Each structure stands twice: as C-alpha cells, then as structure tokens.
C-alpha cells in the first residue's frame, strides 16, 4: 500500500511501486467556508490496528480569495484524518 500526497492525495496497492493499482482518491479540498477550502495535502499515515489508520495533513483556508482587501491571506493548519478501512475513506 502506498499513499501519494499532493494537491490531490491517492492510495494505491500492489506488490511493488511499479505494479501499483486500485488507485483511490481521498482527502479532497473542502467546500467554500471550510477550514481546508484552499487544499488538503497528506503529510503522514500511521497504522493503528488491523484496518484503522491515522493521518496528518496540511489544511489551507483561503478565506477571502476574491477580496483584494484580504491580501489573499492563506491560513495554514495541521489536521488529523482517520480511516477504518485501510485508507479507502
């Protein structure tokens, strides 16, 4: 199992990096007004049992991206995510 972090994060499975398949996209950017509406990038994943996983990710809030008076400020946080199905959700 490999996690591919970036602007979009993916989880793949396979016997080697070359043979990865079953690509699942997860950790999507939040909706307008959410704390992660500017993006969510996975940092790390830890197994916490047979099927449970714990992850930490960068959450970016672009509070007023269309308002010039906001100076286009991005508020950046570390967030936690969990999965009970080996990272499928």
pLDDT computed for residue 67 by the predictor: 65
Tokens coding 55: 């992850």
Q: How far apart are CA 14 and CA 77, in angstroms?
A: 32
Is 88 domain-assigned? no
Is 60 domain-assigned? yes
Number of domains in the chain: 1
Instruction: Quote helix, strand, coil % in the chain, to nearest 5.
Output: 5, 50, 50
pLDDT tens for the 89 residues of the chain, in order: 888 877 778 888 888 888 888 888 888 888 877 888 888 888 888 999 899 999 999 988 877 656 666 666 788 889 999 999 988 78
pLDDT computed for residue 48 by the predictor: 92
Q: Cβ(7)–Cβ(39) under 8 Å? A: yes
DSSP string, 31-46: PTTSTTTTEEEEEEEE
Q: For residue 39, what are the CA distances in angstroms to 21, 59, 85? A: 25, 6, 23
Is 8 domain-assigned? yes
Q: Which domain holds residue 42?
A: 2-83
């Amino acid at each position: 199992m490999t996690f591919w972090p970036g602007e979009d994060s993916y989880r793949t499975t396979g016997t080697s990096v070359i043979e990865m398949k079953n690509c699942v996209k997860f950790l999507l950017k939040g909706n307008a007004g959410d704390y992660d509406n500017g993006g969510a990038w996975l940092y790390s994943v830890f197994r916490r049992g047979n099927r449970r996983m714990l992850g930490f990710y960068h959450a970016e809030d672009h509070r007023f991206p269309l308002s010039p008076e906001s100076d286009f400020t991005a508020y950046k946080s570390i967030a936690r995510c969990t999965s009970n199905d080996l990272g499928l959700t």
